[in-house]
Structure 1
Amino acid sequence: MAVSLSTLAGLKLSIDREYFHQQIVDSFLSDKRCASVDLGSMQRKGVLMQDTDSGILLSNDPEAINSIDAGNEVVFYHPVKGVIFAYQKWGIDWDEYCWVRLFSTMQFVANLKYAESNPNVVAHFLHINSGGGEGWMLDVATAAMRSCKKPIYAFVERICASAAYRLAAQAMVIKTFTDSDLIGSIGTYVKYLDVSEWMKMNGLKDVEVYASQSDLKNKMDRDLEAGHPEQFVREILDPANEQFIADVRCRKKLASLPDDSPVLRGEIFRASEAVKSGLIDGVLPDLSAAIQEAHDLGVQVRDNNQLLTNI
């Protein structure tokens, strides 16, 4: 008997608005160049931050963005933290010992569409610390990212692997916080727990009975449990991995890599090696500077588009 059969692309724990409120706010407050707006206002209106040097507004909350005056420039903050799930789930933040909302690909796509539609938003900022997660829905997310007119900037702290890198690869710019951050693990796998021996030891027996015409029902799963994964690999994992690699190749620096490159075979790299292989664009040990770059890129793209329209 096998338990929890699911196609994955990595692992780790994550957070959404609560993470931003509890962790990122603290990091901004401790940075002499950054300060938050009134916390009481933040709690009432949603998450809204402002860099004191540049005046850049940063938010991941539509209600907060809707509350500001027209003409103010906002960078939309997308935290990609921990395990990537398609649907919204709840989990435990072990640092704060509280329940938090985990990253949701579906909510991420909704946030992308909102940010694209709001004239005050100039750029998307992906703040990534994730080893990957659920592969389903990622093709929808990457397609949505490629359709964005506003630039996407990805900033990595600690790890950007597998499904998380599949998202990051759609960004115009990818930078990491330190040279020791880990990047890559481009690949697809399935993990399941076989508890049949434990059940047998405890006197339990799993019985399945199929109708005469249902001989192919669950066949791939049964073959997999019996040590014959060939059909599952050929018909499930390989097509999913081909789609994964096609998304990664959308990044120009990776488009011409040969199929047998370690980058496309699941290897993971420190940031310094990731720069050489084209996985990232550089190392920037300053969150505030990264946000500034994302904002400036957004303004540049917006102004260029307006110039073309006027011409």
Structure 2
Amino acid sequence: MHGQNIFLNQPLAIDKNYLLSTIANIISGYQQKNFSSAESILQKAQSKIEMQANSAVTSGADVFPVVLDINGPIIKYSSWYYLGTQDIIAILRRLDRNSSVSGIVLNIDSGGGMVSGTAELTHTIKNLSKPTIAYTGGYMCSAAMDIASGAQFRMANPFADLIGSIGTMLSYQDFSKMFEKWGATIYEIYAPQSTEKNKEFRDLQAGDSKAYEQRLKEMTADFISRMQENLKETLKDDELVMKGKTYTPKQALSVGLINEIGTLDDALAKF
């Protein structure tokens, strides 16, 4: 399933430093014209799973765990270099129906991404019949932390980067002055009946962010509620964890964002 990712001027569940590096990477990809097609991104993910299955069968195993990589910014549709949440959902549902799969490890390294599509993936993970572990050897922040909360168990490598960053933000860019510098004249004319059309955006351009702040408030409330429901009694609220703070693996363990510190092999050994 492929479509258009709206990454700029949209609500994001992402760590700010990670966002800046992601945008730089995307711009570089556009300039160099070296992005992969959605089909090739999906095929690469499927090939990795097939290699794991072939290796297990060769070793004589009847059942085996599968590692599914979730790396880079969380986006809804497979694009640029990254597997989208819609394709991840489809892969997970196929794995859940496969009687040879004993469990699924979500190997996450992401600082977050789009709000759109994230809650659906979290819901899918939570309702899989196979046992699931969310593991990170790098970043598990914001939208990626949301996704990890859907798993039955969460682990981090002792040398992982950061975990947490629960919350949402809007990164807003107005390109009108750049277009005007290039000689463009921009007109916006609205029908008299269309007083609410693009009102949030027009208010923001005028310096009034209240409408967007309310929208972000509602999204973040949903995010926090989902985290509280999914992490349940393991979560120890330090009065910062639900306000966007990031944690080292040891700190994340102490507040209950993860259940254990260990390696990817340790995670696989649980199945």
Provide the TM-score with structure 2 as the length reference.
0.79
C-alpha distance after superposition, 1:159-200 (max 9, x if no partner): 100000001112222111124521000001111212233344
Q: Which residue of 1 aligns with 2:164?
A: 184
Tell me the alpha carbon deviations over residues 178-235 of structure 1, each in whole angstroms, 9 at most, x when there is no partner.
Answer: 245210000011112122333444443321001111121101111112211101221x
Say if 1:253 and 1:279, in contact at 8 Å, map to a contact too: no
What SS does the corresponding residue of 1:186 show, helix, strand or coil?
coil
Q: In 1, Cα distance between the equivalents of 2:150 and 2:261?
A: 18
- Shift, 1:19, TM fit: 7.1
2:109 corresponds to: 129
Q: Which residue of 2 aligns with 1:161?
A: 141
* Deviation of the 1:78 alpha carbon: 1.6
Greater share of strand: 1
Which residue of 217, 228, 252 maps to 1:274? Answer: 252
Residue of structure 1 aligned with 2:52, choices 48, 53, 60: 48
Structure 1 letter corresponding to 2:188? E
The change in CA–CA distance for 1:279 and 1:256 in structure 2 (over 3 A counts) is closer
Please tell me whether residue 107 in structure 1 is matched to residue 87 in structure 2. Answer: yes
Q: How does 1:66-81 map to 2 (within 5 A)?
A: 72-81=62-71
Q: How many angstroms apart in 1 are the aligned matches of 2:86 and 2:267?
A: 26
Does 1:7 find its partner at 2:11?
Answer: yes
In 2, Cα distance between equivalents of 1:85 and 1:278:
26
In the TM superposition, residue 138 of structure 1 has moved relative to its aligned partner by 1.7
C-alpha contact 2:74 2:118 (8 A) present in aligned 1: no
1:95 aligns to what? none
Counterpart position of 2:267: 290
**Secondary structure of residue in 1 paired with 2:51:** coil
SS of 1:4's partner is coil
Quote how far apart the aligned CAs of 1:4 are.
3.2
RMSD: 2.9
In the other structure, the counterpart of 2:184 is 204
Larger Rg: 1
Q: Match of 1:229? A: 209
**Aligned-pair distance for 1:86?**
0.8
Change (3 A) 1:178 1:264: same
Count of residue pairs the alignment pairs up = 242
- Percentage identity across paired residues of the two chains: 27
Equivalent residue, structure 1, for 2:4: none
- Mapped partners of 2:135, 2:199: distance in 1: 43
Q: Which amino acid is the alignment partner of residue 281 of structure 1? A: N
Structure with a larger share of its residues in helix = 2
Paired residues of 1:142 and 1:170 also in contact (CA < 8 A) = yes
Note the alpha carbon deviations across 1:117-146, whole angstroms, 9 max, x for none: 111111111001100111112222122122
CA shift at 1:287, angstroms? 2.4
